[in-house]
Amino acid sequence: MASTTANKKEKLKVAIVGTGIGSVVHYPGYEHHPSFDPVIIVGNDEQKTKNIADKLGIEYSTNWTEVVDNPEIDVISIATPPKIHSEIANAALKNGKHVLCEKPLSKDLESAIDMSKNAEESGKTAMINFEFRYLPSRAYFTELIKSGYIGDIYTLTINISSNARMNPIDQSWDWYSSKSEGGGVLSALGSHYIDFIMQIFEIKGVYGRRYTQIPKRLNNKTGKMKNVTADDAVTVIFDVANVQVVLQISTVTSHGEGTVITANGSKGTLVIKEDQRIYGAIIGENATLVPLSIPMKYQLIRLKHHHVLVPSFIKILDELNKGINTGLSHSPNFQDGLKVQTILDAINKSHTKKKYIAIK
């Protein structure tokens, strides 16, 4: 695994654990960043992992513990199902590695608390991949809300409707279908939007309801249908001072509108539509919503033929690199991940107990 050029020797060597998002977002992000050198990818299926590694031109392994123990590796980038986030992260931190972990931080609150504690005690940089923070429309939307562009906020609604999980055969059973493995849209998508809300408001409590609209999915290993225990839709009402804040996600909507975020205030309205453009209207100035120009400071690098999240992931890597250089864990860090996990836990409790859950 020795580097072949002087330039590569100066870079931090990265091991990516996970072959899904790990190969299409993490790898190209590290590969395009001047401070990192992704040298190995880890997966469960040897042939699949080898094929991916060959395509990327890096090494591969099916044993993450050996990779974490490797003294040549500087950074462990975790892109596995949430069920094993804590085990990998804790081992990496114990071995003196810096860690970047996919969201949510873990499969449950108890293990997330443990991860956050271990990260703080390790002295290593430990961050969570809330890359949605850096999407230009989201970043500018947050600035406009905080600056009072539409005055006092009355409502914030996040409505996500798609057919991403509509077909139980094509979207067959995997870890995403299992609640015990950290699957479901609340965990996968909701964590991003909880982080988004927390950039603007303090969440005091939640009412939450999860739905499993597609109860069985094809198990490709057996050829039979298998019970689904994770949610494919969710509705959450957040207790945020005197502001109506609602998150609604459905991935089983045949003709959905994608993601639409709307804020209404005393001076006007702001909307982010599925096209990722931001629209606004000020009372007395605009009869209808008009597109707003996003400042250059929020614009991201343009990359062709890559996953849409790679540019925002590179912004996360900028913060990771700064943290490693300064001995800090810049936001979004494991503490931020723990805060979101606390809200996820409260939503799950609200669903189970069918009542409002305060955030302590």
Helix (H/G/I), strand (E/B), else coil: 107: coil
Q: Residue 251, CB half-sphere, CA atoms under 13 Å: how many?
A: 22
Average pLDDT for 294-319:
96
> Which residue segment(s) compose the domain that 45 sits in?
6-130+310-333
CA separation, residue 297 to residues 110, 137, 141, 356 (Å): 38, 12, 13, 40
340 close to 191: Cβ distance less than 8 angstroms: yes
Looking at the fold, whether 73 and 121 belong to one and the same domain comes out as yes
The pLDDT score that the predictor gives to residue 102 is 98
Domain count, the chain: 2
Residue 261 belongs to some domain of the structure: yes
Looking at the fold, whether 30 and 111 belong to one and the same domain comes out as yes
What is the per-residue pLDDT across 59-105, written as a single tens digit (0 to 9) for each? 999 999 999 999 999 999 999 999 999 999 999 999 999 999 999 99
DSSP secondary structure string for all residues of 209-255: EEE-SS-EEEETTTTEEEE--S-SEEEEEEEETTEEEEEEEES--TT
Residue 301 belongs to some domain of the structure: no
In our burial notation (b when 16+ CB lie closer than 10 A, e otherwise), range 158-176 reads: bbbbbebbbebeebbbebb
Looking at the fold, whether 155 and 219 belong to one and the same domain comes out as yes
The pLDDT score that the predictor gives to residue 7 is 45
Determine the Cα–Cα distance for residues 59 and 15; give it in Å rounded to an integer. Answer: 9
Residue 298 belongs to some domain of the structure: no
Looking at the fold, whether 286 and 326 belong to one and the same domain comes out as no
What is the per-residue pLDDT across 209-250, written as a single tens digit (0 to 9) for each? 999 999 999 999 999 999 999 999 999 999 999 999 999 999
pLDDT beyond 70 at 190: yes
